[in-house]
Amino acid sequence: MDNHLNKIKVFAGKNMLWLAIIIMAVIGQILRNTFLSANNISVILYTWAIYGTLAIAETLVLLSAEIDLTVGINAVVSPALAIYLSDAIYKGMTGVGTVRGGYVTSPWWMIIVLTLCISTLIGAVNGILVVIGHIPAFVATIGVQYIVTGIGYIVTKGTPLFMTRVEGSGILGGMRIAEVIPVCLLLFLAISILFIILCNSTKFGMRLYATGGNLNSARLCGINGGKWKFIMYIISGFLSGLTGLIFVSKLQSIDVTQTTGYEMTALAIAIIGGISLNGGVGEVKNTVKAALFMAVLSSVMSMIGAMQYHKTFVNGIFIVMFAIFHKRSDSKRLKKLNIVEV
């Protein structure tokens, strides 16, 4: 009997996130019989793609023992800046702008390229401040967050931009395969698989975990920890811009307040997925599962008419619960290895 209970405990521990997702989905279906409808599943999958892409960006930085608090605002400001930059380019070349009355007519391909360049640049600025400037990551990235937010308001004057006249702009976030699967989900899954493989089976992952686990030991092994921290900020910036493009494509509009708080959602997902804030511990695959859990939880809360402050309260409870679970699991693992926690 005890042996069976132990097996159940081990199984539950290894598959905790999957069990949480299933339980939450069952609760949602009990509360609303339309929860598992094709339309709502599509909304959940879209939310998963948004949450997951940002969470992977945050996870990679956390694994290097740093933090990035700009992922949310980077996701919305970089497309806005890209649009106004394309407007300036067209004005300089033809004398005619591409932003009129809030409506955008810039080519979608140009917006994509400029957005990813700008978001990656923001990531690079974070990396320079942290790695070269030796400014604590929390201070550096929250400072850049305020700067980027201010630039967004200055450039856009706080007015929304509408993408309905940009040909092809609705495909990435709005098109669905078989009326259920968003195109952006396929992109997110491709990114997830890429980084799961890189982190688990290549020198990329070995050097990343070594940098986050013990920087001094990594240096003794010939690993340039600063370089790898900088690379993670670059990747984080790029993925933030990509998330922004998905967001804009879905909503067909841009407002500098659209992703307020998304950086905390990404951080929460990483924590729920078992990523250590001290670096070097955790797996990208668990971040992906945690993002799905948060997407399902968000859908359940929305369907029962919960207000934002209710969602914040519930999210906080789950963050604490999962943090306690991961801490206990780590303690048990270290105890089995006869390693004393300090």
Which residue ranges make up each domain of the chain? 18-329
List of residues 6+ apart from 164 with CB closer than 8 A: 103, 252
Confidence of residue 135 (pLDDT cuts 50, 70, 90): very high
CA distance 273 to 237: 21
Check residue 342 and give its pLDDT: 44
Sign of CA dihedral 214, 218, 220, 225: negative
Mean of pLDDT over the chain:
88
User: Pick the residue with more confidence: 257 or 201?
Assistant: 201
Distances (CA, A) of 253 to 3, 97, 218, 287: 57, 18, 45, 28
Give the CATH number of domain 18-329: 1.10.3470
**Nearest residue to 18 via CA among 305, 342, 285, 335:** 285
Q: 135-161 as b/e, with b when 16 or more CB fall inside 10 Å?
A: eebeebbbbbbeebbebbeeebeeeeb
Q: What is the pTM of this model?
A: 0.91
List of residues 6+ apart from 322 with CB closer than 8 A: 271, 272, 274, 290
Instruction: Say whether pLDDT at 138 is over 80.
Output: yes
Check residue 145 and give its pLDDT: 94
CA distance 13 to 273: 13
Axis-axis angle for helices 108-127, 71-94 (nearest 10): 130
Axis-axis angle for helices 284-303, 262-272 (nearest 10): 120
CA atoms within 13 A on the CB side of 226: 8
Confidence of residue 260 (pLDDT cuts 50, 70, 90): low
User: Pick the residue with more confidence: 260 or 243?
Assistant: 243
